[in-house]
Amino acid sequence: MVNKSLTWLFTLIFALWLVLPVFAQEGSAKEESKETPAQEKAEAKHKKMSSKEARVEGVITRSNKDDSSLTVRQGSTRAQTIVRYDGSTQWTSQEHGKSANPISASDVQDNDRVICTGHYDDKGEFHATLISKRLTQH
């Protein structure tokens, strides 16, 4: 009787020893599935933010026509953003409260105040769809 009980106990322990790694792997797979939606959500948020329209406003400190870019210093923070443009970018000049006038890229120079609207790409670079040169009232 004791011999049979020990045999059953040994068999049960041996069976649990074989099955336990399967449960551990199943648990880690569930953990991975919990992480995957969070990662997907973060990636979707990044994509949404990169496609969302953004705005950069400030004074042009450098313009590079060869690279099709403007470096814009924003406000009192002295933060600088590189604004990229291409052939599809619209250029305007506008005085506060008045209608916008179309201009060309050559009409915008260093020390001009601009408002740029566009979006950030996956690399974090700002691409302008509209660059508006702001005219001051004299």
Give residue-wise pLDDT tens across range 61-119. Answer: 999 999 999 999 988 777 899 999 999 999 999 988 888 899 999 999 999 999 999 99
Q: What is the model's pTM? A: 0.61
| Cβ-proximal residues to 19 (8 Å cutoff; 6+ apart), any chain | none
Ranges of beta strands (E only) in 1-138 are 54-64, 69-74, 79-84, 90-95, 101-102, 113-120, 126-135
> Which DSSP state fits 98?
S
Q: Is the pLDDT of residue 137 over 60?
A: no
Three-state secondary-structure class, residue 69? strand
